[in-house]
Amino acid sequence: MPGTPPTRFVYLGPEGTFAEQALRLVPAAERGSRSPARSVPEALDAVRIGEADAALVPLENSIGGAVGVTFDELADGEPLVITREVVLPVEFVLAARAGTELDAIGTVAAHPQASTQCRGWLRDRLPDAVVVDKLSNSAAAQAAADGEQDAAICARVAAARHRLPVLADKIADHGDAVTRFVLVSRPGPPPPPTGDDLTSLAVFIAHDRVGALLAVLTELAVRGVNLTRIGSRPTGEALGRYAFFLDCTGHVADIRLGEALQGLRRICADVRFLGSYPRHRGAAGVNERPVPAPAGLADADYADAAAWLARVRTGEQT
């Protein structure tokens, strides 16, 4: 079926970074085109104006936290929806030109966040090496390939792109660090439920934050909807107005999540649906396993209660 699914992908560049690596995990991306964007807004705007069909951008990572610009872009402006998440282990390697020995490394090119995440390893194994900051993991690999520095801390994909052998693998201090990327498209029917889905929402509330947030959580809890993530950001639009970004278990097509969404719509200043999509299986760190529905809140309980109410309304039962 030419033209579908999306064939023009854009991702947060430059080439050789984790975003490109994450995109390669999306099967359709192998058959489509893949272009780097200079920034998250640039990537999303390409989708908004139709120059691309889908954008792969980072949402959060387990070391640096939420990627604010992505959340802001999703909450503001022309609507977009998430259709897939990709959770990628952030594995740093030390790469150097062929023939380089570990003992001979005097300088290491690295993005500052990368060298921070590997500082324990550097202290133990290269205590005398000088770290030279670079603008991206890809730029660090480039510098090692060009001979500017003796080695680079970078992603495996960047080492491969610059044909640099890997001298040491998984050198980050926290071995289970991950980055969570999302694939974003123009609005359309969500992917079908799989039984293990997430739904992302931007929820805007005003004024009293404890009370309003309690009300939001109560709408979810009453329907047995669980949260896997919550974060808040002030909105520039009006003083005292806040956006909460929620990742809920379940799919917008589910009865229980649908009822909870209606509840949020009623009580919040605004709700923006950011997509229902399959949970990335096997991802550690960011995602927890699905929590079973509490007693009385399984789908069968919803069906039973609906049938009972129908009979009560006609007088067949009490």
Residues between 146 and 175 with contacts to a copy of itself, criterion CB under 8 A: 174
Q: What is the enclosing helix (H) or strand (E) of 264?
A: helix 255-267
Q: How far is the CB of 312 from a copy of itself (least distance, A)?
A: 5
Give the single-character DSSP code of 103: G
Q: What angle do CA 29, 183, 186 make, to 5 degrees?
A: 105
Stretch that binds a copy of itself, among 3-11, 18-26, 35-43, 141-149 (CB under 8 A): 35-43
Bridge pairing between strands 54-61 and 178-185: antiparallel
Q: Does 208 bind a copy of itself (CB under 8 A)?
A: yes
Interface residue with a copy of itself among 77, 106, 112, 195 (CB under 8 A) is: 112
Residue of 100, 213, 278, 290 that binds a copy of itself (CB under 8 A): 213
* C-beta atoms surrounding 137 within 10 Å: 28
Residue from 66, 102, 166, 168 binding a copy of itself (CB under 8 A): 66
Residue 242 burial by Cβ neighbours in a 10 Å radius (0-12, 13-18, 19+) = middle
Q: Which stretch binds a copy of itself (CB under 8 A): 2-10, 47-55, 68-76, 102-110?
A: 68-76
From CA 32, how far away is CA 35, in angstroms rounded? 10
Looking at the Cβ atoms of 167 and 287, the one nearer to a copy of itself is 287
| DSSP 3-state of 54 | strand
The two three-digit tokens of residue 285, written as one number: 């760190």
Q: Which of 49, 104, 130, 309 binds a copy of itself (CB under 8 A)?
A: 309
- 65 makes contact with a copy of itself (CB under 8 A): yes
- Which of 104, 222, 238, 281 is the binder for a copy of itself (CB under 8 A)? 222
Around 55, how many Cα atoms within 13 Å sit in the side-chain half-sphere? 31
Q: Is 259 in the site for a copy of itself (CB under 8 A)?
A: yes
How near is the Cβ of 99 to a copy of itself at its closest, in Å? 29
Supply the minimum distance, in Å, between the C-beta of residue 149 and a copy of itself: 14
272 belongs to the binding site for a copy of itself (CB under 8 A):
yes
β-strand 81-89 against 178-185: which pairing, if any?
A: antiparallel
Q: Which amino acid is at 102?
A: L
Instruction: Tell me which stretch binds a copy of itself (CB under 8 A): 29-37, 96-104, 122-130, 182-190.
Output: 182-190
The answer to whether 242 touches 233, Cβ cutoff 8 Å, is yes
